[in-house]
Amino acid sequence: MVRNLLVALALPLLAIGDAAAAEPAASGEISYFKQVLPIFRAKNCTGCHQPAKRGGDYVMTDFATLLKGGESGTAAVVAGKPAESELIAQITPKDGKAEMPKDGTPVTDAELTLIKKWIEQGAKNDTPASNAQRYDAEHPPEYLAPPVLKAVKFSPSGDVLAVAGYHEVLLHKPDGSGLIARLIGESERIEAIAFSPDGTQLAACGGSPGRFGEVQIWDIAKRELKLSKIIGYDTIYGVSWSPNGKVVGFGCPDNTMRGIDPATGEQVLFNGAHNDWVLDTVFSVNSDHIITVSRDMSMKLVEVGTQRFVDNLTSITPGALKGGLIAIDRHPTKDELVCGGADGEPKIFKMVRTEARKIGDNANLLKEFPAQPGRIFGVAYNKDGSRIAAGSSKDGRGEVRVYDTTNFQQVWKVEVPEGGVYTVDFRADGQSLAVGGFDGEVRLLNTADGSLITKFLPVTIKQTAAK
């Protein structure tokens, strides 16, 4: 159970701070991995210059290409000679403005001095072998074992099933009959995925625990990374797309929720009302509010336009909730929300309070369903809102339950003895429910009775020679 929970919720986080403040090596030498690379990530340099998005044909996630430079043909880094290094020329302000980062926050004087000193000292690479960038479209990840599936999501039209893998999102045919494409990015962990309302783009969030968080925006038709936004120093969670398509929201382990413009990457939404990790987000029907759930046992409502905290939708009475909230989804046509978490009880809440607040009330709660085994990690409404699904995990076993929202009765439940369930999603036609979890298999269940339509591994497992 402990291993299950660690995989599901994430590894311990590092504090988010100034990239240039990393502790220097005891020898006095500047560390590329501990001091310089965090600056490149914080300024989103590695987001724009990576194999999936080669700005200026320059890749900064591989050390050799970081030194070599891009389309200009000029060496980006000349060891021992910062004055001859094109990288320094690009990030040094001229007439008050630097060429790079383009449309981003410029490096500070202290950061520029540190990078110059690193080059003066020989531009050494002290990146541990285990942290070196290894994957791109020409060198895709290889799997020796099935990946833990943190997210499965059907496209709005139901013609694509996206599955979160290792360093990638895998696009499959919706009936599980074959792989369509592999969207390979920098983040080793993909925690959540969301299609744009029109289905033409896909947002993925994740990162590398203790190193960086990332939001990716992909063009589905072109299989092209349109935008990569590096966020902080730890994995991020619960990506969602506003119905009007203008904001992509997500939660962070620094207890904040944030939102970016999916076209530019500009942060347009920020709120710090939670006091623990924010694990999932969803927007209101009209895109004017975002709702967040957190390990702090609360669901909060934030106004998008003002970025103002509006209300706790869950009771704030001590003891009213028995643990953190992990997953949330919204009814497709009205502002009702299904959530689940540590107490194993799926709950439906209304978004807007209509009763006068009273101490100890839980007035927004519409329905509380019986507890499932363990914690609930995934919830979903179907396309017309007539059913909800919830997936849970306990002691290495999973369970999926589906409820009718017109009478709040359980329609069926299915046990998954092979591993915990971490994600569920209905196909648009309402005929199948995709389920993923600890054992790495995608299960497609018949929504009428829970019977298994098919199950498949979303990746190819590399066979190793027996010793």
User: How far apart, in Å, are the Cα atoms of 417 and each of 65, 176, 182?
Assistant: 46, 21, 29
pLDDT digits (tens, 9 = 90+) for 402-430: 999 999 999 999 999 999 999 999 999 99
Tokens of 167: 């360093």
60: left (phi over 0), alpha (psi -120 to 50) or beta: alpha
Average pLDDT over residues 109-115: 85
Q: Are residues 159 and 266 in the same domain?
A: yes
Q: Are residues 180 and 74 in the same domain?
A: no
For residue 204, the model assigns a pLDDT of 98
For residues 221 and 135, what is the distance between their CA atoms, to the nearest angstrom?
21
For residue 278, the model assigns a pLDDT of 98
Asked, for residue 90, whether it belongs to a domain, the answer is yes
Residue 464 has pLDDT above 80, yes or no: no
pLDDT digits (tens, 9 = 90+) for 72-81: 777 888 888 8
For residues 175 and 432, what is the distance between their CA atoms, to the nearest angstrom?
9
Between residues 411 and 5, the one the model is more confident about: 411
Question: Of 45, 69, 67, 58, nearest to 122 (Cα)?
Answer: 67
Q: Are residues 246 and 278 in the same domain?
A: yes
Asked, for residue 15, whether it belongs to a domain, the answer is no
Question: Residues 293, 298, 304, 310: what is their CA dihedral angle, to the nearest 10 degrees?
Answer: 170
CATH number of 221's domain: 2.130.10.10
Asked, for residue 14, whether it belongs to a domain, the answer is no
For residue 65, the model assigns a pLDDT of 74
Question: How far is the first Cα of the chain from the last one, in angstroms, to the nearest whole number?
Answer: 31
Which of residues 131, 166, 193 is at a domain's end?
131
Q: Are residues 118 and 210 in the same domain?
A: no
Q: Are residues 167 and 277 in the same domain?
A: yes
Average pLDDT over residues 356-384: 91
Q: Cβ-count burial of 440 within 10 angstroms (0-12 exposed, 13-18 middle, 19+ buried)?
A: buried
User: Whole-prediction pTM value?
Assistant: 0.80
Report residue 318's pLDDT band, with 50, 70 and 90 as the boundaries: low
Percent of the chain with pLDDT over 70: 88
For residue 460, the model assigns a pLDDT of 95
Average pLDDT over residues 438-451: 97
User: How far apart, in Å, are the Cα atoms of 213 and each of 68, 204, 228, 232, 290?
Assistant: 26, 11, 10, 6, 20
**Pairing verdict, β 152-154 and 387-394:** unpaired
For residue 123, the model assigns a pLDDT of 82
pLDDT digits (tens, 9 = 90+) for 340-369: 999 999 999 999 988 887 777 788 999 999
Average pLDDT over residues 47-51: 71
Sign of CA dihedral 230, 233, 236, 240: negative
Length of the chain: 467
Average pLDDT over residues 232-251: 97
For residues 46 and 36, what is the distance between their CA atoms, to the nearest angstrom?
12
Residue 6 has pLDDT above 80, yes or no: no
H or E element in which residue 8 lies: helix 2-9
Buried b (16+ CB within 10 A) or exposed e, 116-136: bbbbeeebeeeeeeeeebebb
Q: Are residues 384 and 423 in the same domain?
A: yes
Helix (H, G, I), strand (E, B) or coil at 309: strand
Residue 251 has pLDDT above 50, yes or no: yes
| Range with lowest mean pLDDT among 119-133, 160-174, 373-387 | 119-133
Q: Are residues 398 and 326 in the same domain?
A: yes
Tell me whether the omega of the peptide bond preceding residue 101 falls within 30 degrees of 0, making it cis.
yes
Q: Are residues 312 and 360 in the same domain?
A: yes
Asked, for residue 244, whether it belongs to a domain, the answer is yes
Average pLDDT over residues 207-218: 93
- Number of domains composing the chain: 2
Average pLDDT over residues 259-280: 96
Question: Of 179, 166, 181, nearest to 218 (Cα)?
Answer: 181
Between residues 280 and 107, the one the model is more confident about: 280
Q: Are residues 216 and 114 in the same domain?
A: no
Between residues 372 and 61, the one the model is more confident about: 372
For residue 319, the model assigns a pLDDT of 65
Q: Are residues 262 and 358 in the same domain?
A: yes
Buried b (16+ CB within 10 A) or exposed e, 81-111: ebeebbbbbbbbeeeeebebbeebebbeeeb
Asked, for residue 145, whether it belongs to a domain, the answer is no
Q: Are residues 256 and 171 in the same domain?
A: yes
Tokens of 426: 């209905």
Domain enclosing residue 31, as ranges: 25-131
Question: Of 358, 292, 295, nearest to 321 (Cα)?
Answer: 295
Under a CB-based contact definition with an 8 Å cutoff, are residues 253 and 212 in contact? Answer: no
Tokens of 16: 């988010």
For residues 148 and 164, what is the distance between their CA atoms, to the nearest angstrom?
9
In whole numbers, what is the pLDDT of the chain averaged over residues? 87
Report residue 258's pLDDT band, with 50, 70 and 90 as the boundaries: very high
Q: Are residues 283 and 342 in the same domain?
A: yes
Under a CB-based contact definition with an 8 Å cutoff, are residues 367 and 361 in contact? Answer: no
Asked, for residue 20, whether it belongs to a domain, the answer is no
Asked, for residue 462, whether it belongs to a domain, the answer is no
Average pLDDT over residues 96-116: 79
Asked, for residue 48, whether it belongs to a domain, the answer is yes
